[in-house]
Amino acid sequence: MYISPKASPARQREAQLARDNRAEIVKALSHGQINRRDLFKWGIFTATGALALKNGLSPFARSAFAAVPTGTPRSNLFGQQKFTCTLPRLALQKPVSLTRDPATRNAVFPASLGERPAKRLSYHTDFSANPSDNQFRNLVSGRGPIEGRPPGEIFAHQRWDEFFPKVGYVMSIGPVAAGSKFHPGFVAQNPNSVWCYGTGRFVSGTLPPPLIKARYGEPMLTRIYNNLPLYRSANEGFGVNETQAHFHNAHNGAESDGAANVHHFPGTFYDYRWSTTLARRDKINTQATDPRASGPNGSGGLTNVPGDFRELQGTLWFHDHRFFFTAENVYKGNYGMVNFYSGPDRGNETLVDGVNLRLPSGSLLDWGNTDFDVNLIVSDAAFRPDGQLFFDIFNTDGFLGDVPLVNSAYAPFFEVLPRKYRFRILNASMSRFWKLALAGPTGSAVPFQFIANDGNFVVNPITLTTLDHQGTAERYDIVVDFSRFRVGDKITLVNQLQMRPDGRGPQRDLTLAQALAGDPSDPCIGSIMQFNVVSSVPSVDVPNYTYSSTTPDNSVVPAILTQQIPIVAPVRTRLVEFGRSGNGDSRNSTGQCTPDCPETAVFPWTIRVNGQEAHSMNANRISLLIPKPGEIEHWTYVNGGGGWDHPIHLHFEEGVTINRGVDPIPATEKFVRKDVWRLRTIGQRAVTFQIQFGEYGGSYVNHCHNTVHEDFALLMRIQLLTGVPGSPQTAVTPTPNPTPDGVVWTTPEILPEGDPRTPS
Amino acid sequence: MSAHHAISKRLVLGFLIATPFALSASGQTTSPPPVTGTKKPTSATPQMIDEAIQRSQARTVKEREQRIPEQFGSEEPFTPTRN
């Protein structure tokens, strides 16, 4: 889609003009000067919501100057080259201790923060009881409650006393701070070009994204303020000022999953209780006697927790999940990472106790060392000619950027010692799949060990020279041993995957040599980051401490990392097809769309369950219902076909991947726990996995994590009746509908084919 | 548990579930009747899965051959091959 910088000036102008025209339409839409109905009337949108192939508008329309598509102009890099800025380490957040008020059961922040206590029930409950009381009212807008979490018991924090938050974080999502850049040589971003997290309440957002180090046995309360502009049009062309923060696959109650149609508005906050619950705690190791199910206690020991150690999680992230605007908001910067630390995955490479795996990390801290355990967030971006972040919302197939970013920096370099490192690689792109490999100084492939998929250990490390395709939201943990290199050597991280220009999915795997040669039509192919082997590096864990190349590497990669969860006969099987069946109508039986209707056209994506009628997303429709906790099911996902790849994400629980239909299953997936599965167009178009639900309940979702597809309704609500006995989450919960004045409730419809309580 | 306690618990639970309706900001609730009772398969059969995969394959072949993106309804009718 991106045209070569060597193309004629006329073609460059043509492509820029088309993109400017698209941007003008986006701006007019966001300012309310036109609506989607106008666009259909003018023939700009097709019936499926895609941009019509019009010259001067669509990048896929034939160019006036050549028999090729118009294309899109390359981003302005201001003359900067790759590997000229250092890798920013993620912004580590420091927790504050919370204390329990025995009278109120509230979690009290330190007085110095000036924060109101965190409560089991939302402050929306207080507002609803007394809307005129200013202490519960959003004083920025002058309307509605101060907290976005819906009122009453259904959105009370589940199991509050059992998982009472011990530490707290106060963060704000807001316009980026002045002077923030994606490379020192780029221009600074305008405040509303990037919306990201800052530490504290009255703060701007900052780059790089945040990192939270969490440990089992230490529940967290994360208070997120919405400091975004009050007016929706103040968005530099894309992004919506409403947010719900999804903690991607942490084991939390629906009220803290951030995807229950609970977005909140500027001036409000939302208290998420991130519980660090280990799955199966109500079923396995209930007395917490297994030391492998544990978290570090901070003084060399462990705090045991109930649950199944085989379900320990490690590399996680959180991101915006505002239905139908997720791609714009995440792309704009609304995300961060969370590392979960446990007895086996301690983040300490020297401590020997028979439980700790001693993976590369460091040892200056008791747990959570990150000197040799590095988070890498890989994404792709595009910039306007003036250097501001640009997003093209017109393509419902997918959005591809032409600037590779790692931790929000353009193709950075990272200095490493000649020893082992662990890298936690997250694909935070909107639509781009990556296939990453390492190239040594001579261009030959560098072997590495694959240890975890979506934050779940594989049973045995797998030696690879290239990763599998990595879809949006997938996390791959690898260990690279740089001891085979000499000081001065440079190793590059290489993307070997050619995408379809329309963003629908991968097109072709390239050899390492082909990838290193680059592709003029896609600058994200080839090297995207460089590792420079050096003789000393400063510690990030303990300031003023410096490691040298002679510092012993005490880390190991054990032959066994975890144990296999057996595959058993299921209670039931389910089939879910993601594609374009049916008519794409998102309305329910009474004509409602929740949260938003397409104004004229239908949504282009649908999901169907057990071969029945297809539906687009409606948050007030339950497509799958889980009747009770602990039942083991086998689910099969199938790509509906037609040429699109879909990375499908299931919230809340991980599934054990069983097979890929009739196609071979990669070693990195076979019997491995995952929460995102790629459904390919050819080969691996299906996946079957084993799943069970427990500990919490409520409303969650299941969706394509190509967020452009997701925003055009390729998601569905799943309802878990798996709350603890006596809780509201043992029954179907009503649907919250956020408004600036507070939440309004509706009663969801339930698809009979998704409800096993329905006699078939 | 005494009968009185059990009834009280049910009442409290009923109240808790109903509370959000009473607390809604505008006092509005809309309540379309849940769609229940229609007989549809709530469990997938191997044949159903096989048919879905065949349908997926057929659509992809069509897209590759005709270079036309999948449109709503264009996949129908589809006749799977029975094994």
The band of A10, judged by pLDDT with boundaries at 50, 70 and 90, is confident
Q: What is the pLDDT of residue B3?
A: 38
Interface contact A625, partner B, CB < 8 A: no
Q: What is the pLDDT of residue B11?
A: 30
pLDDT at B74 over 60: no
Q: B47 in a domain, yes or no?
A: yes
Mean pLDDT of the region B53-74: 78
CA distance A708 to A274: 27
Mean pLDDT of the region A566-594: 89
CA distance A320 to A297: 31
The DSSP bridge partners found for residue A420 are: A481
Instruction: Of A441, A438, A464, A442, give the one whose Cα is nearest residue A451.
Output: A464
Residue A12, SS3 per DSSP: helix
Q: B68 in a domain, yes or no?
A: yes
- Strand A633-639, strand A572-579: pairing: parallel
A-chain CB neighbours of B56 within 8 Å are: 577, 579, 638-641, 685-686
Mean pLDDT of the region A288-310: 98
CA distance A11 to A386: 19
Q: B63 in a domain, yes or no?
A: yes
Number of domains in chain B: 1
Summarize pLDDT for A96-139 with one digit per residue, the tens: 999 999 999 999 999 999 999 999 999 999 999 999 999 999 99
Percent of chain A beyond pLDDT 90? 80
Interface contact B4, partner A, CB < 8 A: no
Summarize pLDDT for A670-726 with one digit per residue, the tens: 999 999 999 998 889 999 999 999 999 999 999 999 888 888 788 999 999 999 999
pLDDT at B23 over 60: no
- DSSP codes of every residue in A483-530: GGS-TT-EEEEEE-EEEPTTSSSEEEEPPHHHHHH--TT-TTSEEEEE
B-chain CB neighbours of A742 within 8 Å are: 24-26
The DSSP bridge partners found for residue A437 are: A466, A494
Q: What is the pLDDT of residue B17?
A: 34
pLDDT at B29 over 70: no
Instruction: Please tell me what DSSP assigns to residue A722.
Output: -
Instruction: Please tell me what DSSP assigns to residue A663.
Output: B
Summarize pLDDT for A535-547 with one digit per residue, the tens: 999 999 999 999 9
Q: CA angle A247-A250-A254, nearest 5°?
A: 70
**Tokens 């660090």 belong to residue:** A276
B-chain CB neighbours of A758 within 8 Å are: 36-40, 42
CA distance A504 to B60: 12
CA distance A740 to A264: 8
What torsion do the CA atoms of A265, A271, A275, A279 make, to the nearest 10 degrees? -30
**Tokens 């144990």 belong to residue:** A563
B-chain CB neighbours of A686 within 8 Å are: 49, 52-53, 56
Nearest CB to A760; choose among B16, B40, B58: B40
Percent of chain A beyond pLDDT 70? 97
Q: B19 in a domain, yes or no?
A: no
Q: B79 in a domain, yes or no?
A: yes
Contact B21 A685 (CB under 8 A): no
The H or E element containing residue A738 is strand A735-739
Summarize pLDDT for A42-53 with one digit per residue, the tens: 777 776 556 777
Q: Is the dihedral of CA A234, A240, A242, A243 positive or negative?
A: negative
A-chain CB neighbours of B37 within 8 Å are: 752, 758
CA distance A582 to A612: 10
Contact A744 B56 (CB under 8 A): no
pTM: 0.93
- The chain A residue lying nearest B76, using CA atoms, is A581
On whether the CB atoms of residues A554 and A349 are closer than 8 A, the answer is: yes
pLDDT at A514 over 70: yes
pLDDT at B47 over 60: yes
How many CB contacts within 8 angstroms connect chain A with chain B?
A: 208
Output the CA–CA distances (angstroms, integers) from residue A663 to A427, A462, A631, B54, in the order listed: 24, 20, 28, 13
The DSSP bridge partners found for residue A291 are: none
Output the CA–CA distances (angstroms, integers) from residue B47 to A189, A685, B51, B83, in the order listed: 54, 16, 6, 9
The phi and psi torsions of A255 (rounded to 5 degrees) equal -65, -20
CA distance A660 to A666: 9
- DSSP codes of every residue in A160-193: TTTT---EEEEEEEEEBPTT--SSTTSPPPPTTT
Q: Which residue has the higher pLDDT, A531 or A606?
A: A531
**Tokens 């791959």 belong to residue:** A476
CA distance A636 to A689: 7
Tokens standing for residue A478:
């690898």
Domain hosting residue B65, numbered range:
43-83
Q: What is the pLDDT of residue B19?
A: 33
Nearest CB to A749; choose among B32, B51, B58: B32
Q: B28 in a domain, yes or no?
A: no
Q: B61 in a domain, yes or no?
A: yes
**Which spans in B30-69 are helix H?**
46-66
The least confident of A239-248, A445-454, A737-746, B60-69 is B60-69
Contact A741 B70 (CB under 8 A): no
For residue A152, give how far its alpha carbon lies from the nearest alpha carbon of chain B (Å).
Answer: 5
- The chain A residue lying nearest B75, using CA atoms, is A581
The phi and psi torsions of A745 (rounded to 5 degrees) equal -105, 145
User: What is the pLDDT of chain B when averaged over all its residues?
Assistant: 61
Q: CA angle A84-A188-A173, nearest 5°?
A: 110
CA distance A267 to A740: 10
Residue from A744, A750, A755 whose CB has the most chain B CBs within 10 Å, to mutate? A744
Instruction: Of A278, A274, A434, A265, give the one whose Cα is nearest residue A338.
Output: A274
B-chain CB neighbours of A580 within 8 Å are: 70-72, 75
Q: What is the pLDDT of residue A759?
A: 66
B-chain CB neighbours of A751 within 8 Å are: 35, 40
Residue from B11, B24, B62, B63 whose CB has the most chain A CBs within 10 Å, to mutate? B24
The band of A54, judged by pLDDT with boundaries at 50, 70 and 90, is confident
Residues in B 59-78 with any Cβ partner in A closer than 8 A: 59-60, 62-64, 69-73, 75
Mean pLDDT of the region A69-89: 92
CA distance A395 to A211: 31
Q: What is the pLDDT of residue A423?
A: 98
Q: What is the pLDDT of residue B83?
A: 63
Omega before A209 within 30 of 0, i.e. cis: no
Q: Of how many residues is chain B composed?
A: 83
How buried is A609 (Cβ within 10 angstroms: 0-12 exposed, 13-18 middle, 19+ buried)?
Answer: buried
Q: Which residue has the higher pLDDT, A565 or A56?
A: A565
Q: What is the pLDDT of residue B18?
A: 33
Q: What is the pLDDT of residue B12?
A: 31
Q: What is the pLDDT of residue A49?
A: 59
Summarize pLDDT for A610-642 with one digit per residue, the tens: 999 999 999 999 999 999 999 999 999 999 988
Output the CA–CA distances (angstroms, integers) from residue A261 to A4, A243, A662, A693, A699, in the order listed: 42, 10, 37, 21, 9
Q: What is the pLDDT of residue B28?
A: 32
The band of A394, judged by pLDDT with boundaries at 50, 70 and 90, is low
User: What is the pLDDT of chain A when averaged over all its residues?
Assistant: 93
CA distance A261 to A595: 7
Neighbours of A166 (CB within 10 A): 18
- Strand A742-746, strand A614-615: pairing: unpaired
End-to-end CA gap in chain A: 48
Mean pLDDT of the region A322-330: 91
On whether the CB atoms of residues A501 and A384 are closer than 8 A, the answer is: no
Tokens standing for residue A317:
């992230």
Interface contact A741, partner B, CB < 8 A: yes
Q: Is the dihedral of CA A678, A683, A685, A686 positive or negative?
A: negative
Q: Is the dihedral of CA A75, A81, A83, A84 positive or negative?
A: negative
On whether the CB atoms of residues A737 and A593 are closer than 8 A, the answer is: no
For residue A687, give how far its alpha carbon lies from the nearest alpha carbon of chain B (Å).
Answer: 10
The H or E element containing residue B5 is helix B3-23
Tell me, what amino acid is at A326? Answer: T
The phi and psi torsions of A390 (rounded to 5 degrees) equal -130, 140
How buried is A179 (Cβ within 10 angstroms: 0-12 exposed, 13-18 middle, 19+ buried)?
Answer: exposed
Q: What is the pLDDT of residue A141?
A: 96
Residue A301, SS3 per DSSP: coil
- The chain B residue lying nearest A739, using CA atoms, is B25
Q: B36 in a domain, yes or no?
A: no
Residue A541, SS3 per DSSP: coil
The band of B77, judged by pLDDT with boundaries at 50, 70 and 90, is low
Summarize pLDDT for A147-202 with one digit per residue, the tens: 999 999 999 999 999 999 999 999 999 999 999 999 999 999 999 999 999 999 99
Helices (H) and strands (E) in chain A, counts: 6, 45
Interface contact A577, partner B, CB < 8 A: yes
